[in-house]
A and B are shown apart, each in its own frame.
Chain A
Amino acid sequence: MRTHSKYIQFIGFVLFVTLSQPAFAKLNVLACEPEWAALVTEIGGEHVKVFSATTAMQDPHQIQARPSLIAKARRADMIACSGAGLEAGWLPVLLRKSANPKIQTGKPGHFLATDHVKLLGKVIDDPANLHAAGNPHVHFDPQRMSSIAEALKNILSKIDAENADDYQANLQNFSDSWNAAMQGWETSATKLKKRSVIVHHDSWVYLIQWLGIKQVAALEPKHGIPPSTSHLAKLLEIVEQQPVDMIIRSGYEDERPSEWLSRKSGIPVVTIPFSVENYSTPGELKRWMDGVISKLLPGVSK
């Protein structure tokens, strides 16, 4: 029976600590990727405190459900993630271990960007494919970003109705500057139209569709599986048969396959930041997309 009194002490301690939590004025948001953290900053403004679980240098498929993230999920009022299976390897652990009712699947605080736009690249026949639900990297399409920004405004207004007017105003500000910038990007990117690129992996479908670029091949057709020698030989054949302007790779992907192909073919490699570097001040998404376009343009200037 000695152990039973220990139980009572333990449970009493639990109740004491949990019930004596102070109420936080700001909404705590845990974003899975920095682009969603940046968007939360744009729309949430001063009413939110946001943290991104990953950086632009990390492959969001392969993230550890590390202790610090469980602690963050425990106290979050909301999560903002890509969805469509991108975080399938780690987000379920955060949800389960946090025991946080606000952020569980189906709750308002469970915000998945891909729930609010039409996805490209749905795979019907391959249930083992991580992206059977469609390609999750929607942040590369500014138009889809506009729709997601509006959906995010709606959710923030629902969770925190008191500040709904501010969220509406923030959305308006963001949309005005974003739409203006979009026109600028599209004008300067007209010379990218119909240009051919080889990508490291199919992470760029939205960018490619938006700008009218032609993807002729992928170095790594299956995620996480480095290209075989026969696949590389096939790519060499492809680049001999048709002009290819550049090889596109993100900062977190292995540089060796693209560097190898570049050496063999003379085609330049363009490393594009996969997301924003900083997400705590407004305007970062626009600066990031400026950077993406300016990285692509020199590839076709010659």
Chain B
Amino acid sequence: MKFYLLPILMVGLLITAESQAAQVSYGLTLDGKITDYRQDPEEYELPGFGLGGEAGLDDEGFSLNHSEITMQVDAEHLSAKMTVVIPEEDGDIDAELEELYLESVGLGNGITLRAGRYFAGVGYINQQHTHSWDFADAPLAYRAFWGRQYIDDGLRINWVAPTDMFVELGLDALNGGKYPAGGSTSWDGVDAHVAYANFGDDIDSSQSWQAGVSYYAADVDDRLSGGHQHGGGGATEIPGFTGDSDVLGLNLVYKWAPDGNYRNRNFTLQSELFIRDEDGDVILKGSSPLEATTYRGDQKGFYVQGVYQFKPQWRVGSRFDYLTSDNKGSDAEVLEEASLDDEGVDPKRWSVMLDYAPTEMSRWRLQFNRDKSYERNDNQILLQYVISFGAHGAHTF
């Protein structure tokens, strides 16, 4: 977290703590999975896209995945939220600070300010907790561009227009210390910016929609990702990208329920598209002599999904993912080793899921993926449970 955030957070926490009307609520969400893959998950890759962040597949077998503890403080003019995730990776459990931010409450004129660590304003599901997602794993586009989910430290200004139609504009000034920016180098600690605009309205009493556009621009400094692995030997040469990165995101969400009554039956259709344009250099760290290439990234990815609740507690869903890339560089071999050559493959995946919510606080999900992310086709079965205790907040559209 950068120096300029610390005083803001401390003053804010003091104001919040001093407020007599402060309400504190806690929540615990258990999110676990049992997975079975036909292929070795260690071999997983997305040709043309380096795997960074948490883009890889979840461990095979049972994993605690993404359980989290949340604390929310609501005071008169400020609210604070903290989320600590307890992910399990390769058998190790590490607590991680996923969110810690202060936000203005009722500032007026439609303006909300936020400071701290939070889900950046890119795309649609990026701003939801993963346990609220409709599928047990991330869309391929989120793996490819955001390392599953883009979280960063920074400041946000959000404005809702005084119009009949919902119009929201926002800006994030972010540290850029996390994937996919790689590291902060500038004097003010701001290396990544996100501008976003969301629009939405009702079509009639049964149908609503929201459309969003986001633009991410970063000065990337040494973004590390997984390279092309040869026979599971584990890559010792780690590709690092330095240069300019721009990602345009478009998203559309449509929801329907008979008479607008979501209780018994409802349907959600959503789709997101990301287009990334990068210009810089890629070096293979750990190579001797040092291998490097110029790099012009041209990558696109989208997913479309539909989820239908056909009776109370039961939902079915289907999703299609597609990625394509056409990256260029001065040294084709280095690009290939950095997993930035598409190897003639456009990664794609088909998924179906069935979920059941025995209570308002719990959900079980069975999902099947036909995964063609790389040259080896994979069949994946995921069984997920999500159980929430205590306050788990209201849900956004």
Contact = CB atoms under 8 A, between A and B. Distances in A.
Interface in B267-282: none
B11 interface: no
Interface stretch (B39-47, B143-151, B256-264, B344-352): B256-264
A254 B111 contact: no
Interface in A31-78: 54-55, 57-59, 61-68, 70-71, 74-75
B220 to A, nearest CB: 15
A271 B260 CA distance: 18
A74 B106 contact: no
Interface in A168-217: none
A96 B255 CA distance: 22
Interface stretch (B195-203, B223-231, B242-250): B195-203
A97 B208 contact: no
Interface stretch (B61-69, B157-165, B319-327, B333-341): B157-165
A124 interface: no
Contact of B160 (A59, A70, A90, A253): A70
Nearest to B167: A71
Interface in A154-170: none
A91 to B, nearest CB: 7
A138 to B, nearest CB: 21
A55 B260 contact: yes
B166 A91 contact: no
A119 B66 CA distance: 39
B130 interface: no
Contact of B396 (A93, A103, A104): A93
Task: Select the residue from A66, A103, A106 with max chain B CB neighbours within 10 A.
Answer: A66
Contacts of A130: 360
Contacts of B201: 67-68, 71
A91 B394 contact: yes
Interface string A1-31: 0010001001100100110010000000000
A96 B77 CA distance: 11
Contact of A224 (B160, B255, B312): B312
B210 interface: yes
A99 B112 contact: yes
A266 interface: no
B285 to A, nearest CB: 29
B110 A62 contact: no
B205 A89 contact: no
Contact of B395 (A65, A96, A224, A252): A65
B289 interface: no
A7 B155 CA distance: 12
Contacts of B106: 95, 99-104, 107
A253 B259 CA distance: 12
A107 B106 CA distance: 10
B108 interface: yes
Task: Select the residue from B76, B109, B164 with max chain A CB neighbours within 10 A.
Answer: B109
A106 B21 contact: yes
A92 interface: yes
A132 interface: no
- Looking at chain B's contact residues, the main secondary structure is strand
Given A68-B201, A75-B162, A225-B359, A93 B109 contact: no
Contacts of B160: 70-71, 74, 97-99
Contacts of A95: 106
A67 B395 contact: no
A74 to B, nearest CB: 5
A67 B111 contact: no
A92 B264 CA distance: 23
B361 A67 contact: no
Given A74-B160, A97-B160, A67 B21 contact: no
B141 interface: no
B397 A62 contact: no
Size band of the interface chain B makes with A: 35 or more
A92 B103 CA distance: 14
B154 to A, nearest CB: 13
Contacts of A254: 263-264, 311-312
Task: Select the residue from A74, A100, A223 with max chain B CB neighbours within 10 A.
Answer: A74
A55 B107 contact: no
Contacts of A7: 171
Nearest to A17: B161
Contacts of B136: none
A241 B131 CA distance: 46
Contact of B263 (A98, A103, A104, A252): A252
Interface string B56-92: 0000000000000000001010010000000000000
Interface string A259-285: 000000000000000000000000000
Contact of A252 (B111, B199, B261): B261
A225 B161 CA distance: 39
A225 B262 CA distance: 14
Contacts of A58: 259-263
A55 B200 contact: no
B105 A62 contact: no
B112 A90 contact: no
Contact of B110 (A18, A59, A252): A18
Contacts of B394: 65, 88-93
Contact of B112 (A64, A97, A128, A252): A97
B200 A96 contact: no
A68 B202 contact: yes
A90 B395 contact: yes
Contacts of A104: 76, 105-106
Contacts of B205: 55
Nearest to A98: B160
A65 B396 contact: yes
Q: Which 5 A-B pairs have the closest CB atoms?
A: A67-B200, A67-B166, A101-B106, A59-B263, A104-B106
19 contacts: A3-B217, A14-B169, A21-B162, A64-B395, A64-B397, A66-B208, A66-B255, A67-B201, A68-B166, A70-B200, A71-B166, A92-B394, A93-B397, A95-B106, A98-B110, A99-B105, A99-B108, A128-B361, A252-B263
Interface of B: 21, 74, 76, 79, 103-112, 157-169, 171, 193, 195, 198-202, 205, 208-210, 217, 255, 259-264, 311-313, 358-361, 389-390, 393-397
Given A64-B255, A66-B397, A254-B263, 6 more contacts: A14-B109, A61-B263, A74-B110, A74-B162, A105-B74, A128-B390
